[in-house]
Structure 1
């Protein structure tokens, strides 16, 4: 980043005057965040204090809209900071994160525990039916009143003080949890020599050579703990000893006896969450979190998970038996272990469908799949995407695109696709600025972050089909932010219930699998030839392959999450022991590991976005499976009227509608749960169980 000089204005707080008013990344230094936070926090406090102290009787304009307008500089600074912490971190940013996490939590608590402010909101809520509010205003008022009460407004002073302390401590612990996982991932590198490459396809060898050279080992090959590096290694390496070594390192992230050990952090967080829920009058933290979701209760989430668990166990047992036969046919007499499953599943897929990942991957170029995601959005929602090279970004690996409709800008989209050591693992959507129309149209700046392995020197990055699905998934989230069309920031984009937010993203995945998309964009990286029709047919036919495994590794994580946050919490909580107890209770097959083990389960411990809510992917899958059938029923995957309803009631609506009403407005009825089992190919197993 370009350096500024002492005494210069802080670019984080100055007006951003470049294209799209994007953050001036070229002018921002890491050490400018702390003073920017200090000033922005002071401004935000003064603004909300002024609302609370207003001598005029509360109105929607002088209370709710005034709150919505407050804290603009704090939003600017925080959005840039937390996006950089996730995508391009350094030691200075990590230190600021550790310092600021409790301070920002304390600021949030002070806002929601401000009794004068809550009194104004409560007064409006009490007379809401006589205020003449439109539907969106009524929804905003309802959300504010609910958020205040769910954060302790109206409780005795001792309880409010304790809630503030708990929030501050949880924020610090969550920041440390995420930093520990990143540190473990950065520290690990499995170095391979040429004799260790047995079974590895050319694309993985090229990527491993690049990784090793970048880490200071030219002429050798490196496998990292990034999912896009280690999963294909586990899938293809014929060296069982190396697969086991790599898998154990992957599984043990956050579970050391050193300074990156997340076990005591997770235990303390679980206990603090339970205490907070009790202070707020809830039976457990899970009851607290789910009260404001579509599921409403932990029992509803558990019923859903159980409905797929039983048929998935049956299907996984059949899958394991087939893999065991393959190993025996090769003269092996070991029992299939977690580090064997992907390797033999790949062989089984080849045997069943004459299909292997090495055959698919040359057709799945990152650049072409980005084009495919844009193309589907254009067909569905009339969007166009033009790359912008005049907008400075935070890393040379990121790309900026102007999004337009009917010639008018709609959003700025940033795609950050490739893995690097400064980036946290996983994939996500975020924003540098959300959409709203409170004081004129504010166009959103949306970012998708992924961790795909970079191709070899001079070669494109090639994706697995799962990687490609991840790209479409996150772009679905991105569209939810880009197409948002609401007045109030509180309701913008992805500000919806956790078990509804995955619906637009998971629904978008379906377009990747359509032959029309694959014929156009799945082009061989060397020859430019389209994926052969026979290969497309095999790929589509194999969609439901290995779904017992996929369902169990996910559902086990969701069940452990709920168990951690639902059951009584002992003082000497051992989160790994509880994890193992829950896996034994549900009958987790030994050959399958959780998708996210507790010590590195960032969804639920690096912040609280999915805490007691990891089940929500499955809840949303009911909606996406049933929702895509709406297009199939028309015979046109881009059916104009169906796409219009999807846009109006889902992607553009943000949190402005009741979620059941939003789905019914799109689909014309409530969702059918059976669509989920059909999508996963578990309907026959469910019928037999």
Structure 2
């Protein structure tokens, strides 16, 4: 029988036939598709005809499509619904993909054709997007070591193969630690927990085959537990397990893996002529240099740390009033911050969540997209990779735009966090194709599923990424959607969060799941007023992680990542009661792959722009100003990576912003 991954997909919108695909199909499909990609590249490189844009750059852009299709399905299920077979396949595929990448970028004949075109680019009569594709293609080859030879080339191949293995191992170790820990709660262990936390803990217990409620290391469960549990001993136990992910002394210890990754990255950068991996990585980003990143982070660090210190004094006094002696600890902060939030804003999360059901917040995100960009969403009944997944066709004025898939609930087989990916990107050549976009979250499952305000913000954030994919309107897939500089990619997602803060959006969609009544106006106002609550804490835990990431990649690679982490935190004066958002052994952004290495700062770099970009709407006709929405789509959302990020932003706003709007937006201006 034909392998379904290699067959033509006669399915609605060309979606993967998930109900026909077995885990045993992946390896043979991968091998066949890889062989096909290798043959396609050989044909391009060995073409006796002189190089031109069509037979070299465009031909390379269109090659490997079968491999892309196989891997898009595989990595979707491996990240969101892992199992032992898929984990083994990840370990098997990683070195093969690294070897293929090295083979591709080490193809001297192919690079010679690309280089010849680059040198003659002014005489080729290329359209702007073609020039951009040529520039990025050549740059990717140069930065991958295409100009290396001999021992240096061989060493680069070995480095990339080893990095692929280590990144896979880091991810799987983290998943194992997260899936392997749980804390059962007896009846006396529920003090302070609101009904929704208890319900979610019972659901997690049932999933684990237990009668008792359990706390797992899923963020959607452990954070509410740390916020509400009156049992300080249990909060400490849970927090220490959460903080220790990837740092055990057994088979899942990620500390040595992280150290080896850093050493190999430094060697990789040196082979390419860079002083540090941070210099190499940041060269193609908006920031440009490690110094520019450090300047931004330190400009925010001072005000954030000062605010956190003021907040710590208040929380410490509250703890003493409770008769607890000693220092404020990391497992105390969220608990007392939540009590303070309730006191100062008269706001209990348990009272707010019934107004923020998952279905209502999905509808809110869709409605904003309709009002801004004219998009409409129709539910689809199609086979997907897990029963929790849902799908919609996205149209505009009756024309198909995209397929959107939502996978919202936490489960042991899903890696932590939230993300957006495209199983298929938008393109016009070699034929017109609409994108297939997935949002993956880790919300607690319930009947109905209720979100915290932070959960709702996450939903809007990931949907902002999805809009960047869905509204893309470029010729080539490698330039479409979120294929942009890392410190620009978070702009559309963080910008979209602002629409959740628009009062009329909550008035329309935040309705009680039991009664259908809208959220009371005074509750809505308190929710919005509390949006920046505890921002000193949130900013400190984030900026500390970004500074550690930068330090890891800017200097000599540390033999002991935990010792270097401690040094950096001491240098910046990290408050003892606040932990890094992502300690090194579970810093998946940085160590699962190269995506955010030297780049965790990018959320804040983008936030400087998103605060300024939303101000453009407020300065015009309001949050749904039609002219600004058209400008946002025309200059940013539709353009992908077809121009430099700074050029796109300046086309939208007329200038680049400063850090002041960010500090005001975070409430960090004294």
Q: TM-score range by the shorter chain?
A: over 0.9
Q: Which residue of 2 aligns with 1:484?
A: 472
CA distance in 1, matches of 2:107, 2:151: 14
Q: Which residue of 1 aligns with 2:262?
A: 270
2:31 aligned to 26, 30, 38, which one? Answer: 38
The answer on whether the counterparts of 2:494 and 2:610 sit within 8 Å (CA) in structure 1 is yes
Say whether 1:601 aligns with 2:587: yes
The answer on whether the counterparts of 1:240 and 1:340 sit within 8 Å (CA) in structure 2 is yes
Q: Which residue of 2 aligns with 1:548?
A: 536
CA distance in 1, matches of 2:430, 2:34: 22
Alignment of 1:4-83 (within 5 A): 8-83=1-76
Q: Which residue of 2 aligns with 1:402?
A: 393
CA distance in 2, matches of 1:356, 1:259: 41
Q: Which residue of 1 aligns with 2:116?
A: 123
CA distance in 2, matches of 1:172, 1:155: 23
Q: CA deviation at 1:669?
A: 2.0
Alignment of 1:438-587 (within 5 A): 438-455=429-446, 459-570=447-558, 573-587=559-573
CA distance in 2, matches of 1:536, 1:261: 45
Q: CA deviation at 1:253?
A: 0.3
1:680 aligned to 628, 651, 666, which one? Answer: 666
The one-character-per-residue Cα deviations of 1:18-49 (angstroms, maximum 9, x if unpaired) are 00100000010111111111111100011011
SS of residue matched to 2:312:
helix
The one-character-per-residue Cα deviations of 1:451-484 (angstroms, maximum 9, x if unpaired) are 00011xxx21111111111111000011111111
TM-score by length of 1: 0.96
1:431 aligned to 410, 422, 431, which one? Answer: 422
The one-character-per-residue Cα deviations of 1:423-477 (angstroms, maximum 9, x if unpaired) are 111100011111111122111100000000011xxx2111111111111100001
Alignment of 1:666-677 (within 5 A): 666-677=652-663
CA distance in 2, matches of 1:193, 1:59: 71
Say whether 1:160 aligns with 2:153: yes
The answer on whether the counterparts of 1:263 and 1:575 sit within 8 Å (CA) in structure 2 is yes
The one-character-per-residue Cα deviations of 1:29-83 (angstroms, maximum 9, x if unpaired) are 1111111111111000110111011111111111111001100100000100011
SS of residue matched to 1:683:
coil
The answer on whether the counterparts of 1:626 and 1:673 sit within 8 Å (CA) in structure 2 is no
CA distance in 2, matches of 1:123, 1:557: 43
SS of residue matched to 2:395:
strand
The answer on whether the counterparts of 1:387 and 1:402 sit within 8 Å (CA) in structure 2 is yes
The one-character-per-residue Cα deviations of 1:562-583 (angstroms, maximum 9, x if unpaired) are 111111125xx01111111111
Q: Which residue of 2 aligns with 1:287?
A: 279
CA distance in 1, matches of 2:531, 2:419: 23
Question: How many residue pairs are counted as aligned between the two chains?
Answer: 670
CA distance in 1, matches of 2:624, 2:151: 56
Q: CA deviation at 1:89?
A: 1.1
Q: CA deviation at 1:606?
A: 0.8
Over the aligned positions, Cα root-mean-square deviation in angstroms equals: 0.9
Q: Which residue of 2 aligns with 1:201?
A: 194
1:234 aligned to 226, 238, 257, which one? Answer: 226
Q: Which residue of 2 aligns with 1:312?
A: 304
1:261 aligned to 253, 260, 265, which one? Answer: 253
Say whether 1:377 aligns with 2:369: yes
Q: Which residue of 1 aligns with 2:642?
A: 656
TM-score by length of 2: 0.99
Q: CA deviation at 1:332?
A: 2.0
Q: Which residue of 2 aligns with 1:251?
A: 243
| Unaligned runs of at least 5 residues, structure 2 | none
Q: CA deviation at 1:326?
A: 1.2
The answer on whether the counterparts of 1:10 and 1:32 sit within 8 Å (CA) in structure 2 is yes
CA distance in 2, matches of 1:259, 1:634: 57
CA distance in 1, matches of 2:209, 2:392: 34
| Unaligned runs of at least 5 residues, structure 1 | 1-7, 685-689
The answer on whether the counterparts of 1:434 and 1:481 sit within 8 Å (CA) in structure 2 is yes
CA distance in 2, matches of 1:680, 1:226: 26
CA distance in 2, matches of 1:674, 1:125: 41
CA distance in 1, matches of 2:23, 2:609: 42
Alignment of 1:308-347 (within 5 A): 308-347=300-339
Q: CA deviation at 1:359?
A: 2.2
CA distance in 1, matches of 2:378, 2:543: 39
SS of residue matched to 2:518:
coil
CA distance in 1, matches of 2:193, 2:98: 47
Say whether 1:616 aligns with 2:596: no
Q: Which residue of 2 aligns with 1:134?
A: 127
Q: Which residue of 1 aligns with 2:98?
A: 105
CA distance in 2, matches of 1:359, 1:125: 61
CA distance in 2, matches of 1:333, 1:89: 44
Say whether 1:364 aligns with 2:350: no
Q: CA deviation at 1:523?
A: 1.0
